[in-house]
Structure 1
Amino acid sequence: MDGRLLQQGTGGRRIIVIATSIGAASSASMLNSANFVLYNSAQKIIWQSFDYPTNTLLSSHHLLAGQQLLSSISESDHSTGIFRLKMQSDGNLVQYPVDTSDITPYAYYASGIDGWGDNRTLNLDADGYLYLLNCTSYNMKNLTNGGYTTTETIYLMRIDAEYTTTMEDI
């Protein structure tokens, strides 16, 4: 084994490298948070899926400065679509078309909180509360009210294939 985690494409036609690690992985685990984790022989995390967001934010998963969510082409084709939601290094959460520069004329949505630095994260709580925090855990902006029932419900925030960001319960 060469330390790569592979995903076989549709119909077995192509193989996509979705993770490489430093050193060999000795075990893997799917955590209750839905974070897939690879461990080395010392049981230290060498790779985790939460470091590589796709189109979805789950509770306990944070979108860090410089990271972005990318929409899928459709509900059945998860190749990169036309939208991206980026937690910029200036602290502003902005939605852009894919393959555009991070500049205001291209923005579909902006949180309006910029200039605070890269200490901001987009967070989703188990009760559906979506918000921006700074490094001191100060709530900079509420994006939803939250407070929904958590009994037998798991909330996620997804950037949709067709239009804009939505929050769903599954």
Structure 2
Amino acid sequence: MNRKFKNIAESQLSISELMLPSHSNFSGKIHGGHILNLMDQIAFACASKHSGNYCVTASVNKVDFLNPIEVGELLTMKASINFTGRTSMVVGLRVESENIQTGIKKHCNSSYFTMVAKDENGKSAPVPGIILTNKNEVRRFARSIRRQEQAKKRTSRFRSDTFNIEEFLPLLASSNSKLELN
């Protein structure tokens, strides 16, 4: 199969949106669900632009809300392809907010969306590879490989048919839990 490759810059995206009162939660901060929705949209756009196909979200890795986003701030999201598999891509996202009066910027979130390309019949479709051109791109690609390996280990260690409770009892000793097994 003759696979083609694309430069990462070809599918990178950046969008900015003013945060409105309608986006806020009960405490007056921008609702996390609204931010996740915007993140999913830009991940979709970036992956679709890279693959040339409709894409679906397969998983989201590590969503930590580092700083609150205020009403009236300008939210900027940057998306880039960090990794390509056969039919999947890892889209790296960075979310920043800016107080447009003071110019002060805050890093609010970094996350990784695994997107899968789909053909017109809904089947997984091959995606172009990426051309790695610098140390940061190689670092992000390698980190995605490691993250996948760690996820496989996590999944197998906690499967109900293979879970070894004795291995994890020491963790419970210092936790805010009470063990009452039947």
TM > 0.5 fold call: no
User: Which structure's residues are more often helix, by fraction?
Assistant: 2
Larger radius of gyration: 2
TM-score for the superposition, normalised by structure 2: 0.23
